[in-house]
């Protein structure tokens, strides 16, 4: 191969490497959660988002999410739940020793609501009992006590701060979810009163 050929091949390889390395952005942080009993705890979060690409490398849609809380052996990800894309986690709570996570459904109401009672929210609920995760029916979960207390995918709004963001406080969560920082978190039922499109008819 001629020198010119090697230069072309090298350039193509470099372009492939650079595009492969730079098309995703990650964020790992701790998030303060205001529980229904008034306590505040820190959970660990991790998210991966696509970048929109050269020359504008703004954040694109999230493609992967994780949450964990070691004391109760909580670990949830879009991968282990079989969900994909920009899934938004809305609520995390600990009630009578069990941990609960509410995740907004990634299906349309027409699909999600088949066989579900009227008034069901477009959410999936996960419970950890003795360290074992189980997806449960929302009507078997204490969601009437739970509030909107997670940043969802709003964490990316803090990504371009003048310093690395490794901690989101309740004030940050309140800001991205449109709630007063004085709290307590808005109940899930209040949240869905204004989102009729996300309630089964």
pTM, 2 dp: 0.84
DSSP tag of 53: -
Show me where the domains of the chain are located.
Answer: 24-198
Q: How far is CA 188 from CA 31, 154, 200, in A?
A: 19, 17, 15
Can you give the pLDDT at residue 83? 74
Q: Identify the helix (H) or strand (E) that includes residue 46.
A: strand 40-51
Are the CB atoms for 58 and 70 separated by under 8 Å?
A: no
Per-residue pLDDT tens, the chain, 201 aa: give them: 555 555 444 444 444 444 445 588 899 999 999 999 999 999 999 999 888 655 555 667 889 999 999 999 999 999 888 776 667 899 999 999 999 999 999 899 999 999 999 999 999 999 999 999 999 999 999 999 999 999 999 998 887 656 678 999 999 999 999 999 999 999 999 999 999 999 999
Query: CB count, 10 Å around CB of 27?
Result: 18
Instruction: Specify whether the CB–CB gap between 103 and 198 falls below 8 A.
Output: no
Contact residues for 109 (Cβ-Cβ < 8 A; gap 6+)? 122, 197, 198, 199, 200, 201
């Amino acid at each position: 191969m001629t020198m010119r050929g090697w230069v072309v091949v090298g350039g193509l390889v470099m372009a492939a490497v650079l595009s492969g390395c730079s098309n995703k952005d990650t964020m790992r942080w701790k998030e303060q959660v205001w529980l229904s009993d008034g306590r505040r705890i820190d959970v660990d979060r991790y998210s991966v988002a696509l970048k929109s690409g050269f020359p504008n490398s703004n954040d694109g849609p999230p493609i992967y999410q994780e949450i964990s809380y070691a004391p109760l052996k909580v670990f949830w990800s879009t991968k282990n739940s079989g969900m994909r894309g920009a899934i938004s986690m809305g609520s995390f709570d600990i009630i009578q020793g069990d941990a609960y996570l509410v995740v907004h459904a990634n299906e349309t109401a027409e699909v999600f609501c088949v066989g579900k009672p009227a008034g069901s929210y477009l959410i999936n609920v996960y419970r950890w009992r003795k360290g074992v995760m189980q997806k449960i029916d929302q009507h078997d979960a204490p969601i009437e006590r739970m509030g909107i207390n997670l940043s969802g995918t709003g964490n990316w709004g803090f990504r371009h701060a003048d310093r690395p963001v490794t901690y989101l406080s309740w004030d940050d969560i309140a800001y991205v979810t449109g709630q007063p920082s004085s709290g307590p978190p808005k109940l899930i039922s209040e949240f869905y009163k204004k989102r009729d499109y996300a309630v089964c008819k």
